[in-house]
Chains A and B, each alone.
Chain A
Amino acid sequence: DAKTTQPPSMDCAEGRAANLPCNHSTISGNEYVYWYRQIHSQGPQYIIHGLKNNETNEMASLIITEDRKSSTLILPHATLRDTAVYYCIVSLRIQGAQKLVFGQGTRLTINP
Chain B
Amino acid sequence: SAVISQKPSRDICQRGTSLTIQCQVDSQVTMMFWYRQQPGQSLTLIATANQGSEATYESGFVIDKFPISRPNLTFSTLTVSNMSPEDSSIYLCSVVWGLGTEAFFGQGTRLTVV
Contacts and interface: CB of A to CB of B under 8 A. Distances in A.
A, B assembled together: yes
Interface of A: 32, 34, 36, 42-46, 49, 51, 85, 87, 91, 93-105
Contact of B45 (A45, A51, A100, A105): A100
Interface of B: 30-31, 33, 35, 42-45, 48, 56, 92, 94, 96-108
Nearest to B29: A97
Given A87-B42, A102-B43, A103-B42, A97 B99 contact: yes
Contact of A46 (B45, B100, B104): B104
Given A44-B105, A49-B100, A49-B102, A100 B44 contact: no
Contact of A43 (B33, B97, B98, B107): B107
A103 to B, nearest CB: 6
A42 B42 contact: no
A46 to B, nearest CB: 4
B106 A97 contact: no
A93 B99 contact: yes
Nearest to A44: B105
Contact of A105 (B42, B96, B103): B42
Nearest to A87: B42
Nearest to B30: A97
A99 B97 contact: no
8 contacts: A42-B108, A43-B92, A43-B106, A45-B105, A96-B98, A98-B100, A102-B42, A102-B43
